[in-house]
Amino acid sequence: MGELERLRELSRENKSLKSVIEKSISIIQGCSSLEDTRDARIRILGRKGMITAVFEGISKMPEDERPAAGRAGNEFRTLVTALLEEKEKEIEASIHMESRELEGIDITLPGRCPPLGKKHILSKVIDDVVEIFISLGYSVETGPEVELDYYNFEALNTPAYHPARSLQDTFYVKRSDPEREEPDDILLRTHTSPVQIRVMESRKPPLYVISPGKAYRKDEIDATHTAMFFQVEGFAVDRGITMAQLKGTLEVFARKLFGSKRTVRLRPHFFPFTEPSAEVDVSCFACDGAGCSICKHSGWLEILGCGMIDPNVFSHVGYDPEEFSGFAFGMGIERIAMMKYGIEDMRYFYDDNIKFLSRF
Ligand code: PHE
């Protein structure tokens, strides 16, 4: 008969020992380390432990009961000591097993680090640009990439005869029912400017909005053109907005992105949806405007297109051009990333070459 069974029998035979026996069994069975068994030994067999208390109780019994109680107490001590030793052996054996499993393994070697993914360089530049405008109080809005002709062209004061609408430049999307005689009114947006219309249509000024996203053009793919690219659009509509505020805003932006010594200049340009319109250059961050290979010895780098929102645009969204004025700008993210990080070919962004992407 094992110690455990005999202990249980003993507790049935001696009602006065029942609780102390059960308690000691549960203490021993609950041990999971050698520290536990050391504590258990003290609690059960120690000088002030449970066994001592049992014998103190026996010494206070009537004389004729003491011999039997003493025998039971002694047996309890023997059994519980054996049970505890068994538990200790069991724990020692399992410690041995664990260390044998580790044999031949150098646990002091540094762990192997799996390669971590990171943000694509274009995502990082977009985030940087958007963050600058958020710090100026702009809110972020987005619009659909599959867009209606109305938002991409018509409402942006780009009439049907405008060359930008030609089939050569724009990806048109076929309607699902080819039998239906519908005009080509669905397209992949050619710029992020339609977001201007969508936001103005659904909200009232004051508006200070920044809008990153993809745009598509049927361009021949080369070092400076891809059929899909990223733009960030920005615009402000409020009472009394002037071109001076447009220039000041772009200067703050250019300094935050390219460094505090930068200046900007506006060159007259044309966009159908802004009047007057301009292209914006930033003084070359590589040569401080002295002229170098990055700025093709001009001292300036073109970063975006902009202008004052044309009153014809306001008329499409029901704003009174006598009450409100606004500016808008749009920039190509690949272009800005190429300048900032000295990348020579736009196609690198989309080649998924880990060696290239991990450079940034
Ligand atoms: N949408 C123009 C482009 O794609 C850029 C632009 C945006 C110009 C807003 C003026 C105002 O070239």
CB 35 within 8 A of CB 108: no
Give per-residue pLDDT as tens, 193-242: 999 999 999 999 999 999 999 999 999 999 999 999 999 999 999 999 99
Q: Which of 195, 192, 188 has the alpha carbon at shortest distance from 148? A: 188
Give pLDDT, residue 251: 97
pLDDT in tens, 53-111: 999 989 999 999 888 889 999 999 999 999 999 999 999 888 887 777 777 788 888 88
Per-residue pLDDT at 181 exceeds 70: no
- pLDDT score for 355: 92
Q: Which range is least confidently modeled, 179-183, 184-188, 206-210, 247-251?
A: 179-183
Q: Look up residue 181 and give its two tokens.
A: 């005689």
pLDDT per position as a tens digit, 13-50: 888 889 999 999 999 999 999 999 999 999 999 999 99
> What is the structure's pLDDT at 31?
93
Centre of ligand 1 to C-alpha 153, Å, is 12
Torsion angle of the four alpha carbons 18, 22, 23, 28, in this order, in degrees rounded to the nearest 10: 140
pLDDT range class, residue 161, cuts 50, 70, 90: confident
Q: What is the rounded average pLDDT for all residues in the chain?
A: 92
Average pLDDT over residues 320-342: 96
CA 335 / ligand 1 centre spacing (Å)? 14
- Please, what is the end-to-end C-alpha distance for the chain in angstroms? 73
How confident is the model over 101-148, as pLDDT tens digits?
Answer: 777 788 888 888 888 888 999 999 999 999 999 999 999 999 999 999
Report CA(289)–ligand 1 centroid distance (Å): 25
Q: What burial class does residue 154 get, using C-beta atoms within 10 Å of its C-beta: 0-12 exposed, 13-18 middle, 19+ buried? A: middle
> Is residue 195 a contact partner of residue 213, using CB atoms and an 8 Å limit?
yes
Distance CA 17, CA 40 (A): 18
326 φ, ψ to 5°? -165, 165
Rounded to whole angstroms, how far apart are CA atoms 143 and 147? 8
CA of 294 from ligand 1 middle (Å) equals 24
Share of the chain above pLDDT 90, in %: 73
Contacts of residue 334, defined as CB under 8 A and 6 or more positions apart, other chains included, come to: 122, 226, 229, 230, 346, 349
Pocket test for ligand 1, best of 191, 199, 270 (most atoms within 8 A of CB): 191
- Mutate-to-test residue for ligand 1 from 133, 247, 273, highest number of ligand atoms within 8 A of CB: 273
Q: Is 326 exposed, middle or buried (0-12, 13-18, 19+ CB in 10 A)?
A: buried
* CA 157–ligand 1 middle distance (angstroms): 12
Residue nearest to atom 7 of ligand 1 (CA): 330
Fold exhibited by the domain 121-357? BirA Bifunctional Protein; domain 2 (3.30.930)
Q: How far is the CA of 240 from the centre of ligand 1 (A)?
A: 22
Residue with tokens 């990080």: 341
For Cα atoms 280, 283, 284, give the angle at the middle one, nearest 5 degrees: 120
Report residue 175's pLDDT band, with 50, 70 and 90 as the boundaries: confident
Atom of ligand 1 nearest to the CA of 215: 4
Q: For residue 193, which atom of ligand 1 is closest to its CA?
A: 1
Residue 10 neighbours by CB under 8 Å, 6+ apart: 17, 21, 72, 75, 76, 79
β-pair type (274-283, 300-309): antiparallel
Q: What is the pLDDT of residue 159?
A: 87
pLDDT at 182: 64
- Binned at pLDDT 50, 70 and 90, residue 163 comes out as confident
Model pLDDT, residue 105: 82
Domain residue ranges of the chain, discontinuous segments joined by +: 3-102, 121-357
Question: What are the residues whose beta carbons fall under 8 Å from the beta carbon of 15, sequence distance 6 or more?
Answer: none
Atom of ligand 1 lying closest to residue 231 CA: 4
DSSP-derived 3-state class of residue 244 = helix
Our measurement of the distance from residue 157's CA atom to the centroid of its chain's CA atoms, rounded to an integer in Å, reads 39
Q: What is the token pair recorded at 230? A: 């990223």
Ligand 1 surroundings by CB, under 6 angstroms: 191, 193, 233, 271, 274, 305-307, 328-330
Kindly tell me if the per-residue pLDDT of 247 is higher than 90.
yes
Between the CA of 276 and the centroid of ligand 1 the distance, in Å, is 12
45, amino acid identity: L
Q: What is the rounded distance in angstroms from the CA atom of residue 51 to the CA atom of residue 190?
A: 90
pLDDT band, residue 183 (cuts 50/70/90): low
Query: Which of 176, 200, 198, 199 has its CA nearest to residue 186?
Result: 176
* Per-residue pLDDT band at 165 (split at 50, 70, 90): confident
pLDDT greater than 70 at residue 324: yes
Report which of residues 106 and 275 the model is more confident about: 275
User: Residue 258 Cα, ligand 1 centroid: separation in angstroms?
Assistant: 21
Measuring from atom 4 of ligand 1, which residue has the nearest CA? 191
The helix (run of H) or strand (run of E) holding residue 270 is strand 264-271
User: Do 204 and 221 contact (CB within 8 A), yes or no?
Assistant: no
**Residue appearing with tokens 């942006």:** 156
Residue nearest to atom 2 of ligand 1 (CA): 330
Other CB atoms within a 10 A radius of the CB of residue 162 amount to 12
